[in-house]
């Protein structure tokens, strides 16, 4: 906490979202969202369903087009270029190159189903970064062992459990050496037993100093690992606070309600 606070005052943020606006047709999803992520921060995005948290993450990843606002990752304006006072959308190729700065872990894993775990992790380094296959293989090997799947490298996704697939997906994203890792409800599609192991790997990733944005419903993870919490409600940020402060004394009434209901539900299930 203190370390990142000091870093924040000296280094520029690794990711900055300014005034993001996004609507599907007439339905506004994001109504001007701004936030910054400092190097090494873990930011958990909380909020009820439909609050816009997944959309925010997808806009940051340039998977959605937004009507207004900007995303700057590692000092680079994403998806748009300014020329003579006008803004132009970058070509698909340029955006693809920019996306190398961000890695993403999806709710439904999205592993390439015709490739083994090993091939999934090697795919990007070999075919996008042009890393020699042998080098990529040993790196993929190391990563898969690191996420605890050393014995499952040659399995196809269909032969792996949901939790195992998600850990391969994390390894696949890390293999591209991104500046920021984006997690889109990474444990929502998992059985309770797998959830713990995936969260453990995510904790491991955070411990390496990776900057992370995690959209999640896992309150325990947010409380324990996150340095900051972004609470979203109906397309705006209702609260943006250090994690400890958010969980002990949420300032926004919606956030307080949300905490009471989710943590309450958790007590009941226990």
Partner 1 sequence: MSAEMQLDDHSTIIERGRYRMVMSLVVVLAFVAWLVHAFAVSDIEWKYVSHFLMVRTIMQGVAATLFMAVSAMLLGVVIGLIFAIVQQSGNPVWKTVAAGYVWLFRGTPVILQLLLWFNLALVFPHIWVPGYGSVQTVQLMTPFLSALLGLGLNQGAYITEIMRSGLTSVDKGQYEACCMIGMTRLQALRRVILPQALRVVIPPLGNEFISMIKLTSLSSMIQYPEILHSAQNIYYANARVIELLLVTGFWYLAIVTVLMPVQYFLEKRINRGWSG
Name which position in 90, 156, 179, 217 contacts partner 1 (CB under 8 A).
156
Nearest to partner 1 of 172, 228 (CB atom)? 172
**Does residue 165 contact residue 109 with C-beta atoms inside 8 Å?**
yes
Q: Does 157 engage in binding with partner 1 (CB under 8 A)?
A: yes
**Does residue 238 contact residue 55 with C-beta atoms inside 8 Å?**
no
**Does residue 56 contact residue 20 with C-beta atoms inside 8 Å?**
yes
Q: Does 124 engage in binding with partner 1 (CB under 8 A)?
A: yes
**Binding residues with partner 1: total (CB under 8 A):** 34
Where does 149-208 show beta strands of DSSP type E? 180-184
Q: Does 123 engage in binding with partner 1 (CB under 8 A)?
A: yes
**Does residue 33 contact residue 51 with C-beta atoms inside 8 Å?**
no
Give the tokens for residue 186.
């990474």
CB 32, min distance to partner 1, A: 25
Name which position in 5, 67, 68, 127 contacts partner 1 (CB under 8 A).
127
Site for partner 1 in 65-104 (CB under 8 A): 92-93, 96-97, 99-100, 102-104
For the sheet with 236-242, list strands across it.
102-105, 180-184, 211-215, 42-47, 228-233, 236-242
Name which position in 12, 76, 112, 220 contacts partner 1 (CB under 8 A).
112
φ, ψ of residue 136 to 5 degrees: the values are -65, -35
CB 120, min distance to partner 1, A: 9
CB 259, min distance to partner 1, A: 31
Q: Does 152 engage in binding with partner 1 (CB under 8 A)?
A: no
Nearest to partner 1 of 1, 129 (CB atom)? 129
Where does 74-227 show beta strands of DSSP type E? 76-77, 80-83, 86-89, 102-105, 180-184, 211-215
């Amino acid at each position: 906490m203190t370390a990142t606070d000091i870093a924040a005052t000296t280094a520029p943020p690794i990711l900055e979202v300014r005034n993001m606006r996004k609507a599907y047709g007439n339905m506004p999803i994001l109504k001007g969202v701004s936030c910054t992520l400092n190097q090494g921060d873990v930011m958990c995005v909380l909020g009820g369903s439909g609050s816009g948290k997944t959309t925010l993450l997808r806009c940051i990843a340039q998977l959605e087009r937004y009507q207004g606002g900007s995303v700057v990752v590692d000092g680079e304006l994403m998806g748009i270029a300014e020329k003579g006072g006008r803004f132009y959308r970058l070509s698909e190729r340029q955006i693809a190159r920019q996306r190398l700065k961000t890695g993403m872990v999806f709710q439904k894993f999205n592993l390439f189903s015709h490739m083994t775990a090993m091939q999934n992790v090697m795919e990007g380094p070999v075919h996008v970064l042009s890393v020699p296959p042998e080098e990529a293989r040993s790196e993929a090997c190391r990563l898969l062992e690191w996420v605890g799947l050393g014995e499952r490298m040659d399995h196809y996704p269909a032969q792996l459990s949901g939790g195992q697939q998600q850990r391969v997906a994390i390894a696949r994203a890390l293999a591209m050496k991104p500046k920021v890792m984006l997690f889109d409800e990474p444990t929502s599609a998992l059985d309770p037993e797998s959830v713990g192991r995936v969260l453990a790997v995510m904790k491991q990733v955070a411990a390496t100093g990776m900057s992370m944005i995690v959209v999640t419903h896992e309150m325990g993870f947010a409380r324990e690992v996150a340095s900051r919490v972004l609470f979203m409600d109906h397309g705006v940020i209702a609260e943006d606070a250090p994690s400890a402060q958010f969980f002990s004394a949420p300032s926004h009434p919606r956030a307080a309600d949300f905490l009471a209901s989710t943590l309450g539900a958790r007590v009941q299930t226990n």
